Chains A and B, each alone.
Chain A
Amino acid sequence: MIFKNKPLWGKKKKLKSSYDVVLIGGGLHSLATAYYLAKEHGITDIAIIEKNYIGFGGAGRNTAIVRANQRTQHNVPLYKEALDLWPVLTKELDYNLMFNNCGNLNLMHSEAAMKAARMTIATAQFHGVESHLIDAKEAKEMVPALNISENITFPIHGAMFHPPGGIVRHDAVVWGLAKGAAKKGVEIHQHTEALSIETKNNKVCSVTTSEGKINTRQVLISAGGYSAALIHDMLGIKLPISVLTIQAMVTQPLKPLLDHVVSSGAYHCYANQTLKGEIATGAHMDPWPNYTTLNTAHYIKHQAEALSEFLPCLRGVRFMRIWGGLADMTPDMAPIMDGNNQIEGFFMNCGWGYFGFKSCSAAGKYMAQFMATDQCPDIFKPFALKRYEEHRLMGETAALVNYTPDN
C-alpha cells in the first residue's frame, strides 16, 4: 500500500473530546461538506467519523457517470452546479479528477419515450443545460457500435444527447476532497464507528463513537445507503427510503469503441468505456431491499443480454470484475436534505438513490452553508423531509416509485 505510512489526508490523529461539527460517514457528501465548511465558512474544527475507510460505500462503487439532465426545476440547478464544479475543484484541490466530459447519450425506445425526452430537454434548456434530441441515425453516427436495427427487443428510436455530462474518476474525488479538507484542518477518523447521538432538550449535545464520546453542537448523518438505518436507530426518525443493492461490472479492456456514456431505461443498462478500455456497466437495482452489495447471476446475465443487443460488438467479451453498492431510494427519486428540524443541531443528507456521486460537490457546498449559518439555503428548501406528509413530492419520476407489486 503506497499510502500506508503517510496518507494524503494526514496522519491518524487521536479523537478529541469535542468538535464544532461531527460528520457521520466518510463518503463524498461528508468530505465535500467538510471541505466547504472549512473553505467557505472558516469552520475547521470538524471530525469525519467513518466506520470503514473513506470511499468504502457509494463513493467508490458508483459507475462514475455525471450529468445534469434531470427532470424537474428543483433538481436540475443542483446537478448543473455540481457538473460545473468538477473543473473548478480540479484546480482548487490541485488534484486531477480526470473529468472527461464525453457527453451522455440516453437512448429512447418508443415514441412515448421520445415525447418524455422532449419535456426533459425543455427543462434542461430552460435552466441553461445543453441537451437535445437526436434521431437514431444521428446516434449511430456518434456511436457507430450502436445497433439501430429493428431486429432487437427494444429498437432505438432516438436519444437525448447531453454533451456537458460524462465521467469523473470517483476515487480521485475521494482522495482530492480528503486531501483538500485535511489541509484546512479537518480530521478524518477512519475505522471509527458512530454508535449513538445524544440530545438534551431536543438539541444535539454529543456523539458516542467506538473511540470515545465527542461533545458537539452539530452533527450531520451523510452516510449514503446506510443513512436511513442510522437515522432510525440513533434518533428514531423514520424516512421514506428503501435501500437496495445496485450492481455493476467491467469487461476486459478493449480498443476504443465507445466515446460517450450510453444509457437505456428500457434495457435497464448504462455503459461507458473507461480510460483503461474496459466497458463499465451498471444495471437496475435489485427487486427487493437488501444490504448485501452482492452480485447475482440474474443481473450478470441481464447485463450481458442487454449489452449484446444494443452494442452487438460486445458479444463474447468477458466480464472481469463485478461489484455492488447501495442505493437509498425515495418514492419521488429526489434526496432528503434537512436540518434543525426534528432536532436542533441535527442535519441529514440522504435519499440520493443512485444520484449521490453526480451531486456530491453541490450538495456538500450547500450543506456546509446550511450548517454554518443555521439557515436552509433556498436551493435545499424543496428537499425537506416534510414534503412527504404535505404531499408535495417531486416529479423526478413520473409515477411513485414504491417497492410493491404495483410496478
Chain B
Amino acid sequence: MALTITCPVCGKRNGYEFKYGGEEKGPRPEEKDLDPRAWCDYVHMNKCVAGVQEEWWFHKDGCGSWFTILRDTTTNLEIEKKEAQNDEQV
C-alpha cells in the first residue's frame, strides 16, 4: 500500500507526511439562514465512495498547504486529475 501524495508546493511525497482532511464537499455553506440539516450535511455527512474520490489533504510535515487530490479508495493510489478528467471520472 504505497501511498504517495503530490503536494502542489513540494511535489510527490510519502503519504505519511500528510493528514487526511475529509471528502471535498464544495464551499462552506453561508451562515445566513443556515438550517441544522444543511450544516450537518456539510460537517458530518460523507459519500464513502469505494473508488475515485476528490478529497482534502494537509501537508503537516511539510509546507503546511491545504489542497485536494483524486484518490482511489480501493487501492490507495493517487489519480492524476488530468487522467481522470479524460476518463470523465470526475
Asked if A298 and B16 sit within 8 Å, CB to CB, the answer is yes
With an 8 A cutoff between CB atoms, is B10 at the interface? no
Range class of the B interface residue count: 20 to 34
Majority DSSP secondary structure for residues of A touching B: loop
Q: Complex: how many Å from CA A292 to CA B74?
A: 5
**Interface assignment of A294: CB less than 8 Å from any CB of chain B:** yes
Given A291-B74, A292-B74, A405-B58, answer yes or no on A239-B19 (Cβ-Cβ < 8 Å): no
- In this assembly, does B28 line the interface, its C-beta being within 8 Å of a C-beta of chain A? no
Are the C-beta atoms of A292 and B76 separated by less than 8 Å? yes
Tell yes or no: A228 within 8 A of B by CB: yes
A231 to chain B: closest residue by CB: B48
Which of A146-154, A186-194, A282-290, A376-384 forms part of the interface with chain B?
A282-290
Query: Nearest chain A CB to B79's CB is how many angstroms away?
Result: 14
Given the interface contacts A238-B47, A289-B48, A405-B19, does A388 sit within 8 Å of B40 by beta carbon? yes
| Chain A residue with Cβ nearest B18 | A288
Give B53 Cβ to nearest chain A Cβ, in Å.
Answer: 9
Closest beta carbon of chain B to A23's beta carbon, Å: 20
Q: Which residues of A contact B89 (CB under 8 A)?
A: none
Interface residues of A in 294-349 (CB under 8 A from B): 294-296, 298, 328, 331
Asked whether A404 is an interface residue with its Cβ less than 8 Å from the other chain, the reply is yes
Asked if B19 and A292 sit within 8 Å, CB to CB, the answer is: no
Nearest CB in chain B to that of A390: its residue? B36
A243 in the interface (beta carbon within 8 A): yes
Contacts of A203-252 to chain B: CB distance below 8 A: 226, 228-229, 232, 238-243
In the complex with contacts A298-B16, A388-B40, A241-B22 CB distance below 8 A: no
**A-side contacts of B20, CB under 8 Å:** 287-289, 403-404
- Contact partner of B46 (CB less than 8 A), chosen from A242, A288, A298, A389, is A242
Q: Are A229 and B60 in contact (CB under 8 A)?
A: no
Q: Are the C-beta atoms of A291 and B73 separated by less than 8 Å?
A: yes
Q: CA–CA, A168 to B84, complex, Å?
A: 45
CA distance A405 to B65 in the complex (A): 12
Which one, B15, B44, B48, B60, contacts A331 given CB within 8 A?
B44
Question: CA–CA, A226 to B76, complex, Å?
Answer: 17
Q: Chain B nearest CB: distance from A335 CB in Å?
A: 15
- A407 closest partner in B (C-beta): B19
A404 vs B43: C-alpha distance in the bound complex, in angstroms? 11
The proximity string for B residues 38-79 relative to A, scoring 1 for CB distances below 8 Å and 0 otherwise, is 011100111111100000001010000000000001111000
Chain A contacts with B in 240-276, Cβ cutoff 8 A? 240-243
Q: Quick check: B40 and A241 within 8 Å, CB to CB?
A: no
Kindly state the separation between the CA atoms of A287 and B21 in the bound complex, as whole angstroms: 11
Residues of the A chain whose Cβ atoms lie less than 8 Å from the Cβ of B47: 229, 232, 238
Given A287-B19, A289-B73, A389-B36: A241 and B60 interface contact (C-beta under 8 Å): no
Q: For A243, list chain B residues within 8 Å (CB).
A: 48, 50, 73
Between A228, A290, A295, A404, the greatest number of chain B beta carbons within 10 A of the residue's beta carbon is seen for A290
Q: How far is the CA of A328 from the CA of B73 in the complex (A)?
A: 14
Is A391 positioned at the interface, with any CB of B under 8 Å from its CB? yes
How far is the CB of A297 from the nearest CB of chain B, in Å?
9
Separation of A298 and B1 alpha carbons in the complex (Å): 10
With A287-B19, A404-B21 as contacts: A292 and B1 at CB distance below 8 Å: yes
Confirm or deny: B32 has a beta carbon within 8 angstroms of a beta carbon on chain A: no
**Whole-angstrom CA separation of A239 from B23 in the bound complex:** 12
In the complex, the chain A residue whose C-beta lies closest to that of B22 is A404
Q: Are A242 and B60 in contact (CB under 8 A)?
A: no
Is B37 an interface residue when CB atoms closer than 8 A count as contact?
A: yes
- Whether B48 contacts A292 by the Cβ 8 Å rule is no
Most buried by A among B40, B49, B50, B58: B50
- Chain B residues contacting A404 (CB-CB under 8 Å) are 19-22
In contact, A232 and B73 (Cβ under 8 angstroms): no
- Please report A residues at the B interface, Cβ cutoff 8 Å: 226, 228-229, 232, 238-243, 287-292, 294-296, 298, 328, 331, 388-391, 402-405
B contact set with A: CB distance below 8 Å: 1, 3, 15-16, 19-22, 36-37, 39-41, 44-50, 58, 60, 73-76
| Interchain residue pairs A-B with the least CB separation, the first 6 | A240-B44, A288-B20, A238-B45, A389-B40, A228-B48, A405-B19
A-B CB contact pairs (8 Å), 18 listed: A229-B50, A232-B48, A232-B49, A238-B46, A239-B45, A243-B73, A287-B20, A288-B20, A289-B73, A290-B73, A292-B1, A294-B76, A331-B44, A389-B36, A391-B36, A404-B20, A405-B21, A405-B58
